[in-house]
Amino acid sequence: MADMRILLAFQDEQPGQALASGLLQAGYLPEPAGVGETVPKALEAREYAALILDLDTCDATAVLKAVRQDHDLPVIGLTARNSLEHRIESLDLGADDYLVRPFRMPELLARLRAVIRRKDGHSRSVIAHGDIELDMGARSVRQAGQWVRLTPREYQVLALLMARIGRIVGKDEIEAQVYGTADDVDSNTVEAVIYSIRKKLGRGLIDTIRGVGYVIAG
């Protein structure tokens, strides 16, 4: 069963981070990638439920062609251009849906659910690691079959780390995706959430890489 990892292909980090924060709050597991060769490489490395692609970058067309050549993956294109010609070109190249900026997050989420349903007929997924199961559809966590109560922030941080098992996630990235652009994030906020997750699920679950970030070992 495919999990709900969403690959984000954006050249500008700021819009990509804002979108990632909204997706994470909705229960998805966003994974940023620049445009260009990084997208096909990411798709070779792991499975994603969908790709959200910034169509206004210079190599977006090449990326879309490469994705369509080798992968059966739902693609939603985002653009500031609303011409009929651009819309037709993007759909002809293989985008499953198309959204013009500015847009509201609920509309993007609805379109995302629709393209995923059309592909595989389900919108629920579970990531398992050891005796821990994270259910993104229900936004819940079990350990050894028992429900574990997490706060919304704890769930979001755990989901982000489990989406990248074996890969280090930096503290700055966790802050950007979980807290967005909030100005009131204390310097030790992430550490406090990690401490609380460890207390509930075991100290050995999350490793700290000093000066770099956190990782759930594969």
Which percentage of the chain shows pLDDT scores above 70? 88
Which percentage of the chain shows pLDDT scores above 90? 27
Contact 134, 24 (CB under 8 A): no
Nearest Cα residue to 193 out of 212, 169, 175, 166: 175
Contact 50, 75 (CB under 8 A): yes
pLDDT digits over 7-51, tens only?
Answer: 999 877 666 788 888 898 888 889 888 777 788 888 888 889 899
Alpha helices in 38-188 (DSSP H): 38-45, 60-70, 84-93, 105-120, 152-162, 171-179
Contact 213, 170 (CB under 8 A): yes
Residues facing residue 36 across a β-bridge: none
pLDDT for the residue 116:
81
Distances (CA, A) of 56 to 86, 100, 118, 178: 10, 11, 26, 26
Token output for 169 = 């996630």
Neighbours of 71 (CB within 10 A): 16
Does residue 2 register a pLDDT over 50?
no
Contact 80, 56 (CB under 8 A): yes
pLDDT for the residue 6:
93
Neighbours of 14 (CB within 10 A): 10
pLDDT for the residue 53:
93
Does residue 163 register a pLDDT over 50?
yes
Does residue 181 register a pLDDT over 60?
no
Residue 149 identity (one-letter amino acid): R
Residue 96 identity (one-letter amino acid): D
pTM given for the model: 0.59
Task: Work out the pLDDT band at 65, boundaries 50, 70, 90.
Answer: confident
Task: Work out the pLDDT band at 165, boundaries 50, 70, 90.
Answer: confident
pLDDT for the residue 184:
55
